[in-house]
Amino acid sequence: MGNTVSIFTTTPQEHADKFWASQYQRVPFLFKGMPHKGYVRCKFYLKFEKHHFARQCDIREDVALLADGSLDLRDVKRKWGLQEIQTIDPARWIPFDSNDSNRLSRLAVEILTDVDKALHFYEPSCPPNVARIRSARLLAVKTKKQAIHNLFGPLRFIDTLITRVVATPHFKRHEGIYIWMVLLMLSVLFFSSMYFGVAACQFQSRFRNVVRTGSFAVSPVY
């Protein structure tokens, strides 16, 4: 039975991107040891070609086994946002057909793990509706990232510019003068905002007076 995939389900491609952008890419030795007792290492491939041994997986994670030593494939599918999942026979690098599509028995886990105690998986098929949902989500995620970049891009540019200016020898020689200039500019901005605030209040008072009396003269307040 397939896993339910919606627009809110993180796609396998996103999981792969997140995995390789995580600390495990920067600290690869974290995955060189064997998985802890009660866990099995699962490797997932976005693309699978028969009889072509993959050298590098796209997602890798240690998944807990059930009490009897079997693996719940539904848990793996939920973790990676998969509709279906297919186990790979590591010795011949061909799909392994199991009687239970939602579970790998303890014996199957022992047989299908390679020398690194890892199981290999791929998604055999993707229905058109799931493909459309994933495409829509990836487009939404891309649009969101672009919007964030457009929003904070100028701020990053200003930060980079200030950092470069501060690092110049000229700034270091005249640091005190620049600091006083910045303080003066901040003071001007502060008093300007105060002035415009008072002016806005006076305009609001005059506007109310015009509405009430038809005259721009401000009535004295006793």
Pull the structure tokens for residue 199. 């002016």
Closest to 8 (Cα-Cα) out of 141, 127, 122: 141
107/96 Cα distance (integer angstroms): 13
Pull the structure tokens for residue 99. 């009687």
Q: What is the pLDDT of residues 137-157, one digit of tens each?
A: 888 888 877 777 676 666 666
pTM over 0.85, yes/no: no
Stated as kind and residue range, the H or E segment containing 89 is strand 86-89
Q: What is the pLDDT of residues 108-118, one digit of tens each?
A: 999 999 888 89
Query: What are residue 22's phi and psi, to 5 degrees?
Result: -85, -175
Q: What is the pLDDT of residues 120-130, one digit of tens each?
A: 999 988 888 88
Pull the structure tokens for residue 189. 């901005």
Burial of 185 (0-12, 13-18, 19+ CB in 10 A): exposed
- Structural domain boundaries of the chain? 12-126, 179-215
Which residue carries 């809110």 as its tokens? 8
Going by pLDDT thresholds of 50, 70 and 90, the confidence category of residue 29 is very low
Burial of 77 (0-12, 13-18, 19+ CB in 10 A): buried
The one-letter amino acid code at 191 reads: F
- Which CATH number does 12-126 carry? 3.10.20
Q: Evaluate the CA torsion angle 143, 145, 151, 157 in order and state its sign.
A: negative
The one-letter amino acid code at 75 reads: D
